[in-house]
Amino acid sequence: MPFNLPILLTWLRVALIPVFVGLYYLPADMPPILIKNLIGTVIFAVAALTDWFDGYLARKWNQVSSFGAFLDPVADKLMVAAALILLVEIDRAPAWLAVIIIGREITISALREWMAQLGKIKSVAVATIGKFKTAAQMVAILFLLWDEPLIPGLSTRLIGTIALYVAGVLTIVSMFYYLRVAAQQFREN
């Protein structure tokens, strides 16, 4: 297993998950919810930034490894799943939508694993629709975690909820896109 700064950043993302979740399980007034929301939002934002930064550094420094390529999406999916489950728990996101998003992540991860075994991993590489889904998901989670108005009259919960529904639609569309691409590969064989 290689060890370098990009992989360290990925492990940092994994290590932040229990800190992030544990924050919301502290007693109700320790710290007050506003502080929990602030810290939770910052932790998730740092995790999202390290996701971009570790890949950038790995490519720039030529430290791309198969272990890093495996660990990075696992860390991302764990962080997003933890955030969605937490948002359901604190009543800021509907459970059915979280199940759809998490279910898609598991399905596509399994599909990519299967395609890798067939030597066809490039056929299910991340597509533009998947990037839009991820962006909508990150915006939604950040706004739902913050849950405080940015300016008077501008509800971050409403913005986050709309973004989460957009992410949900893109989740379904992107899942069918990847399944269609995989089906074409199977027909060609």
Helix axes of 128-146 and 156-188: crossing angle, nearest 10 degrees: 150
Contact 165, 97 (CB under 8 A): yes
Structural domain including 122 reads: 93-189
121 and 66 both lie in a single domain: no
What is the sign, positive or negative, of the torsion defined by CA atoms of 86, 90, 95, 97? negative
pLDDT in tens, 25-60: 999 888 999 999 999 999 999 999 998 888 888 888
What is the sign, positive or negative, of the torsion defined by CA atoms of 56, 111, 144, 153? positive
What's the rounded mean pLDDT across residues 75-102? 96
26 and 80 both lie in a single domain: yes
User: CA 30 to CA 73: how far, in whole Å?
Assistant: 33
102 and 27 both lie in a single domain: no
Q: What total of structural domains would you count in the chain? A: 2
What's the rounded mean pLDDT across residues 126-151? 90
Banded pLDDT at 19 (limits 50, 70, 90): very high
